[in-house]
Structure 1
Amino acid sequence: MSHSWLVASKIGTYLSIENNLVKLTVDCVSTGQLFAKPATSVLAYLLSKATIREEAMPLEALVCAQSGLAPMPDYSIAAITAAEDGVSVGADYWLRADPVHLVLQRDSFSLSEPCPLSVSRAHAQAMIASFNAHFAQEDGLKFCLGESGAWYVSLAQPPQIKTALPAMAMGKNIAHFMPQGSAASQWVAYLNEVQMLLHAHAANAEREGAGGVAVNSIWLSGGGVMPAPLAVKPDSDIDCMVGNTALYKGLAKHSGLMHHNISASLQSVISQMAGHTHVRMQLAQDLLLAEDSFQALLNGLKKRSITQLVVNLACYEKTLVATIKPLDLYKFWRSTKPMSAYLV
């Protein structure tokens, strides 16, 4: 067997593997549950091998920025998601109006998890009907319910406010995260009126009677009009977005990228990625808490079907970005630690 044949064989094998390799960016949308994972978890093992940096922005904002959106002054999350959520967006200005529960602290209110709250469609429709009856004639606010159950509010003109994403305010004094801008006082007044409407609402009485928490406010965020599709792809090699939420579907459309839902296990999704250069995937709650999901990512690195794995870990007002390549798995001197250690 000649030396040249062996070289040609190895090169051919390498090229065969190379054609099936892909970069994968995984967005982990959880907060508290994610960081409750122990040091024995596969995710903790992956992080022990990774290069980690911190981005001073919530995960939603990071995904929007990397998808070519610019804050004006918010990222237009509401309009993009509403358009994929069965809502006719038109030229109006849209805000998310997430149903939330505010907790009274010693001298302030804080925003509690989860946000948004899970609200039955019947209760949501009843509450939104109350808002529309109260605001529509005088103030021109129009509330609506998306197919996913998300709440939105629209108005004909930009409201002259900047809002904060809920991840930034979770568990903190909400006074620091109220709408800012020339019309801030008007919108704080709107929120006070919403809270009064909800306080005596029959739907809340039914929720509390069934052992649930009351919807005692809404959280406004993601304001903007529907942005025009990008004429030029974002400064990224991402060519496919995978995720079941309206935001990922909308961002893919806005950026001119291919989109796929996750309909089975993460392993099956990874096996279908051949042919893509760089895939961005949203790892939702059901897959996030399954060890099999992170094991599939680890297996992909070991087999080199994943050449680079970037795991974006939502950490309230910031995002931890962990980058792992196959060779990093040989850093045997790095020990694992509990996920909570990464919150420091």
Structure 2
Amino acid sequence: MRFELILPGLCWPSGQGLHPARDLTLPSLATLAGFSTIRWQPRTSLEALLAGQFRSPADHAPPDTSQAHLRRLGEALPMPADGHWLCCDPAHLHFARDTLLLADASGLAIRRDEADTLMAGLNDMFADIGRFEAPAPDRWYLQLTDAPRPRFHPLADVNGRPVQLFLPDGEDVTRWARLSNELEVWLYNHPVNQAREASGQRTINGVWLWGNGRPAGQTESPFASIQADLPLARGHARQAGLEPVPATRYQPPSGPALAVVDSLLLPLLHRDPQAWAAALQRLDSDWFAPLLADLKSRRITHLHIAVPDDQHSLELDIAAGGLWKFWRKSRALDTLLASAPPPSPSTP
């Protein structure tokens, strides 16, 4: 039986002082790495990696499937049956010298009451555009009658980078640029942001529109069960007819299984080595140790670990039948990550 583990955030970048995993005791991960076949692949986004785990009945997926539709499907709130969807995620826009940068909502600590107040105001002021909603304070959506036509860039691409490099292109961009500007002005002047500024918090002074495309069609999954907390991953599961379960810790599967564990992603994004190291130690006890035990007992015959990253992607393959190779030695994570090839000059 095969187990797929997608683990975004594991590739802490090297060359930034002492690696935060250097002195960690991670016995199960080190053992798994020692018995692994290791492959470094070109950069791969989490979105692309997730899409590759599912297929349409025709054995291919439309290249323009809406990420917003899938992510909204993965939220806890029931999803309306009609309309087209955009992610309309809250953000903080700020200048660094003469460059406009965007910081996503992961560092804004938006409260539920703030999000509700802003949703009510947006739906009152921009009712002719569509319907705004916030299933979570830091994840907003715009439901539209007509499909938006520009090509928008994912929020993950622009976060922390110059906004000018990621402006939408294609059809009808003028209309959407104007709407973005109007939303920024409205948010900037809203009492919620005036109160945040007065209390020393960063303001919610912009949104990032992205994720449009065709509504996702029915897909098929090779998995009997899926563990995931990320709404996009949960949406993929539901589109394939599976109800995902939380990914807080490993649950022994009854058939081929997929788990998407994102506990390292936020600490990596914020470059918080202490939080990243603490999350990694929990992963070793809650995931790697029971996975190793199930490989040894042959409950799992093959474990595949995929780590998407914006420089290189990492793949580890561990076969239960290879655990007898006593000459294989444990491999520390910082040593493993140091084996990555140098970034391509074209990598941003």
Normalising by the smaller structure, the TM-score range is: 0.7 to 0.9
Structure 2, gaps ≥5 residues long:
265-277, 343-348
Answer yes or no: is 1:126 the counterpart of 2:143: no
Answer yes or no: is 1:105 the counterpart of 2:96: yes
1: CA distance, partners of 2:260 / 2:107 = 18
1: CA distance, partners of 2:197 / 2:38 = 46
Q: Which residue of 210, 214, 217 maps to 2:203? A: 214
Secondary structure of the structure 2 residue equivalent to 1:223: coil
Could you say what the CA RMSD is over the residues aligned between the two structures, in angstroms?
Answer: 3.3
Distance 1:60 1:93, change over 3 A: same
In our comparison, the structure showing a higher alpha carbon Rg is 1
2: CA distance, partners of 1:171 / 1:80 = 24
Shift, 1:135, TM fit: 2.2
Query: More helix by proportion, 1 or 2?
Result: 1
2: CA distance, partners of 1:245 / 1:118 = 18
Asked if structure 2 preserves the Cα contact closer than 8 Å seen for 1:101 and 1:216, the reply is: yes
Q: Deviations over 1:110-165 (max 9, x none)?
A: 3335548542111112222332233223xx23211226763100211111112222
What residue is the counterpart of 2:85 in the other structure? 94
Match runs of 1:236-255 below 5 Å:
237-255=222-240
Q: Deviations over 1:211-237 (max 9, x none)?
A: 43221211222223533323xx35xx3
Secondary structure of the structure 2 residue equivalent to 1:124: helix
1: CA distance, partners of 2:155 / 2:145 = 24
Shift, 1:64, TM fit: 2.0
What residue is the counterpart of 2:155 in the other structure? 166
Secondary structure of the structure 2 residue equivalent to 1:190: helix
Shift, 1:311, TM fit: 2.0
Q: Which residue of 26, 50, 72 maps to 2:5? A: 26
What amino acid maps onto 2:332 in structure 1? T
What residue is the counterpart of 2:261 in the other structure? 283
What residue is the counterpart of 2:21 in the other structure? 38
- TM superposition score normalised by structure 2: 0.75
2: CA distance, partners of 1:114 / 1:52 = 33
What amino acid maps onto 1:246 in structure 2? P
Answer yes or no: is 1:77 the counterpart of 2:77: no
Asked if structure 2 preserves the Cα contact closer than 8 Å seen for 1:57 and 1:318, the reply is: yes
What residue is the counterpart of 2:212 in the other structure? 223
Distance 1:146 1:105, change over 3 A: same
Asked if structure 2 preserves the Cα contact closer than 8 Å seen for 1:163 and 1:223, the reply is: yes
Match runs of 1:305-344 below 5 Å:
305-316=299-310, 319-326=313-320, 327=322, 332=328, 335-336=331-332, 338=334, 341=338, 342=340, 344=342
2: CA distance, partners of 1:117 / 1:23 = 39
What residue is the counterpart of 2:285 in the other structure? 292
Asked if structure 1 preserves the Cα contact closer than 8 Å seen for 2:11 and 2:307, the reply is: no
2: CA distance, partners of 1:229 / 1:288 = 34
1: CA distance, partners of 2:105 / 2:318 = 30
Identity within the alignment, %: 23
Shift, 1:281, TM fit: 0.6
What amino acid maps onto 2:87 in structure 1? R
Corresponding residue pairs, total: 309
Distance 1:93 1:310, change over 3 A: same
Shift, 1:209, TM fit: 4.0
Secondary structure of the structure 1 residue equivalent to 2:50: helix
Asked if structure 2 preserves the Cα contact closer than 8 Å seen for 1:99 and 1:215, the reply is: yes
